[in-house]
Amino acid sequence: METQTIQIKNTTILADEVKKGSVLIEDDKIVDITRSNSSNGADEIINGEGKFLIPGLVNTHTHLSMSLMRGLADDLPLDVWLNDHIWPVEAHLEGEHCYAGALLSALEMIKSGTTTCNDMYFFMDDVARAIDKAGMRGLLCHGMIDLFDGEKRKAEYKETLRIIEKCHNTADGRIQVALGPHTPYTCSTELLNWVRKKADEKGLRIHIHVSETEKEVEDSLNDRLKRPFEYLEDIKFLGPDVTAAHSVWLSGAEISLIKDNNVKLSHNPLSNMKLASGISPVSDLLANDVCVSLGTDGAASNNNLDLFQEMKTSSLLQKVRKLDPTVLPAGKVLEMATINGATALGMEKEIGTIEVGKKADMVLVDMKAPHLTPYRNPVSHLVYSAEGADVNTVICNGQILMREREVLVMDEVEVMELAENAAEDLLSRI
């Protein structure tokens, strides 16, 4: 096959430092970063004048197909939200619903600069189909819930193995599969032990929710006489291949366990605030060299997938938690959304920074806007002033997914119509 080249010229690049210049892409990789802006005969030339070139954002905790439930049950505590509203709807889900919801979420993520997501849900082969069509990168897992029932457990094993067999390392390597035990309180010890064994056997990552609410910690102490992370350590579940979502209610001892086991965390500030779950001690975790990344959670509890909102919120939330404006500065937050996200998914050698040899996953943000003027500190502007709608051009794996705000990989109107119809069909079944 003939090599395809793209040159992004005259732009401000977030690389090892912020600098003006151009980037050359060959097929799916970055092959040159230079201060020179002279044309080199690339097949495609993108003018980056007035724009900031950053790594594609990495959303480390999503439930993509839940976009169909956006606005369905708001202003409720987590257990009521889940038990009385979300789970009854999910009981009627089918593969086509999950495809439509995931495609809608992929469209939303592309338009707001996210190129990689870490998704846990159901009918994950249909989610994989949507991610493939969108040209994005995804680490996908079937959400395993056995509720301590032996028959249910066997069914979860079977579905997980089916998804691994069908989807792992597909779409030119853009789609990988992980193991997805839902939480320590919806999964038996037997299921968690099986997950740990399979992860070791097959070299797969693990994605799990841990310590999202105070009630979860209290229940764990009552049932097991241990906090959630202590219990997981006790059964030898923790390790560097585990990405734990939320991790809001942590003791000092648990922070040490997370650090010692090199567990990666996904911080979801907006979902945690909306469900009043609490504030994760992110600044303490980072001070202990824990890898903390950013996630949105699902659009039913956020209610969007815009990582720019998560960046600003996570910084401000830590400042007000510590009453210290120096905590979690803009540069650190941007790392959480890029290289920390890549590290949390085991992809730090491939994505997360703009450097020669890495995959061409990158985003041009248009800085010519009233709310980004005067243009004097791009990193600060990106975290504290920019919005997802400022994203101008998105490239993933060397493919242009959106150019000058026009999505090239799917028809926006068709996707929204498909999702609207799928949501209507789903809700009509209840």
Among 345, 376, 395, give the residue marking a domain's end.
345
Residue 207 in any domain: the answer is yes
Cβ count near 147 (within 10 Å): 12
The percent of residues in the chain predicted with pLDDT above 90, rounded, is 95
pLDDT at 205: 98
- 342 φψ region: left (φ > 0), alpha (ψ -120 to 50), beta (else): alpha
Q: Is 201 annotated as a binding residue?
A: no
Same domain? 139 vs 33 = no
List the one residue out of 349, 342, 386, 341 whose CA is nearest residue 368: 386
What domain range is 101 assigned to?
57-345
Q: Is 246 annotated as a binding residue?
A: no
Q: Is 182 annotated as a binding residue?
A: yes
Cα 247 from Cα 258, distance rounded (Å): 10
| Residue with more model confidence, 76 or 285 | 285
Q: What is the CATH number of the domain that holds 114?
A: 3.20.20.140
Q: Is 90 annotated as a binding residue?
A: yes
Six token digits for residue 42: 């690339």
Lowest mean pLDDT segment, chosen from 36-40, 124-128, 309-313: 36-40
Q: What is the CATH number of the domain that holds 41?
A: 2.30.40.10
Q: Is 28 annotated as a binding residue?
A: no
Same domain? 45 vs 107 = no
Same domain? 329 vs 339 = yes
- DSSP helix/strand/coil, 164: helix
Q: In what order do the strands lie in the sheet with 292-294?
A: 206-210, 242-246, 264-267, 292-294
pLDDT averaged over every residue in the chain:
97
Say which amino acid occupies 263: V
Residue 280 in any domain: the answer is yes
Same domain? 274 vs 368 = no
pLDDT of 299 > 90? The answer is yes
pLDDT of 1 > 80? The answer is no
The pLDDT tens digits for 356-373 are 999 999 999 999 999 999
Six token digits for residue 64: 């993509």
Which residues, in sequence order, are bridge partners of residue 14? 18
The pLDDT tens digits for 217-271 are 999 999 999 999 999 999 999 999 999 999 999 999 999 999 999 999 999 999 9
The pLDDT tens digits for 392-429 are 999 999 999 999 999 999 999 999 999 999 999 999 99
Same domain? 157 vs 121 = yes
What total of structural domains would you count in the chain? 2
Q: Is 297 annotated as a binding residue?
A: yes
Q: Is 209 annotated as a binding residue?
A: yes
The pLDDT tens digits for 15-31 are 888 999 999 999 999 99
pLDDT of 38 > 90? The answer is no
The pLDDT tens digits for 121-179 are 999 999 999 999 999 999 999 999 999 999 999 999 999 999 999 999 999 999 999 99
pLDDT of 78 > 90? The answer is no
Contact call for residues 301 and 271 (beta carbons, < 8 A): yes
pLDDT at 37: 78
How would residue 2 be classed by pLDDT, with cut points 50, 70 and 90? confident
DSSP string, 321-389: HHT-TTSS-HHHHHHHHTHHHHHHTT-TTTSSS--TTSB--EEEEE--SGGG-S-S-HHHHHHHT--GG
